[in-house]
Amino acid sequence: MEQAKTLIEALVAGRYDARLRGMRKTCAVRLGDHERVVVEVNDGYFGVAPADTTEDCELSCSLDDFLRIFRGEQNLITAIMRGRVGVRGDLAVAQMFQSVFSPGDQRAPQPTR
């Protein structure tokens, strides 16, 4: 589990999506049978939540599929529709997390001086 957690922690570190301000949602990512990491968005900021956090949705896929999505070789929603990624729970929440599980640099805004 540490490998998946380390990968996802690096992926979400400093991520921010202004469209998600005011939202607090969680999405568990299950990679294989035993690796599960819960990612949260809290007022637009992404982070890793404690493992016992109840999720609003769960995405399940292989590590290979997850990496293809991360590298931009596969769109998350398309992967869901093709059956490459399973979704349990709220599909709208899975769509919110597309911005963190996709390539691009969406970092938190820096404070102004």
pLDDT mean values, one per 10 residues, the chain (113 residues): 78 86 93 87 92 93 87 89 95 82 55 49
The predicted-structure confidence for 39-70, as pLDDT tens digits, reads as follows 999 999 999 999 899 999 999 999 889 888 87
- Topology, domain 2-99: Nonspecific Lipid-transfer Protein; Chain A (3.30.1050)
Question: How far is CA 36 from each of CA 25, 47, 111, rounded to the nearest angstrom?
Answer: 16, 14, 33
pTM score of the predicted model: 0.80
Q: Please answer whether residues 29 and 5 qualify as being in contact, where contact means their C-beta atoms are separated by less than 8 angstroms.
A: no
Domain ranges (residues) in the chain = 2-99
